[in-house]
Amino acid sequence: MRLLGLNRANGRAPAGDGQLGTRPVREVMLPRADLVAIPLTASEAEVREVAGRERLSHYPVFAASLDDIVGVLAARDLRAPQLGAPFSLARALREPLFVPDTRPAQRVLDDLRKTRAPIAIVLDESGGTAGIVTLAQLVEQVVGEFDAESDDAPLTAGETDRKPGPGGRRGAAGRVRRTEEPGRDGAR
């Protein structure tokens, strides 16, 4: 997923359907069959291999099965040292936000904004994991999808649109990154 951004050609956000309305979140979620999740027992090497291959910003982490999500791993937390301690996936996890699949997508958008959670785990009627939904997925339902491969791709914090100056440095005013990685939802 990509961050909401303006089209640099015309300064306007692309059009979507303009509303989430009362559609249940199950209609916009990424289904369970398409999830990339990490087992809690994964080693540091296994976690880094998955993160390097998939290049998503967040991963659900499960204990016994996908129906037992215990947290969410932010890929950027893999870059931060754990202060000399050995790697612990459990210590790197963030608390997951769970929502029923019948919850209106607009209310899930509100939940994600209020809790500042990057993703929500969507549960089916029996309490099992039905899928996930990100803030970016919900925003795209309102404003439309962005083409990160084009020159008109939205920009996000960290990359720049400006040319490097002397010594390869870029001015602070141009510190924006073009997002081209799937799953970069920009939350948190």
What is the bridge-based pairing of β-strands 155-157 and 129-134?
Answer: unpaired
Question: What Cα–Cα distance (Å) separates residue 181 from each residue in 19, 99, 156, 178?
Answer: 25, 26, 12, 9
Structure token digits, residue 181: 């990685």
How far apart CA 15 and CA 167 sit, in angstroms, is 40
Question: Average pLDDT, stretch 131-149?
Answer: 79
Question: What Cα–Cα distance (Å) separates residue 45 from each residue in 52, 70, 148?
Answer: 10, 20, 29
How far apart CA 30 and CA 44 sit, in angstroms, is 26
What's the mean per-residue pLDDT of the chain?
75
pTM for the model: 0.67
- CATH of the domain spanning 25-178: 3.10.580.10
How far apart CA 181 and CA 188 sit, in angstroms, is 16
* 2 compared with 61, residue with greater pLDDT: 61
What whole-number percentage of the chain has pLDDT above 70? 64
What is residue 101's predicted lDDT score, i.e. its pLDDT? 97
Rg (CA), the chain: 18
133 has which bridge partners?
Answer: 120
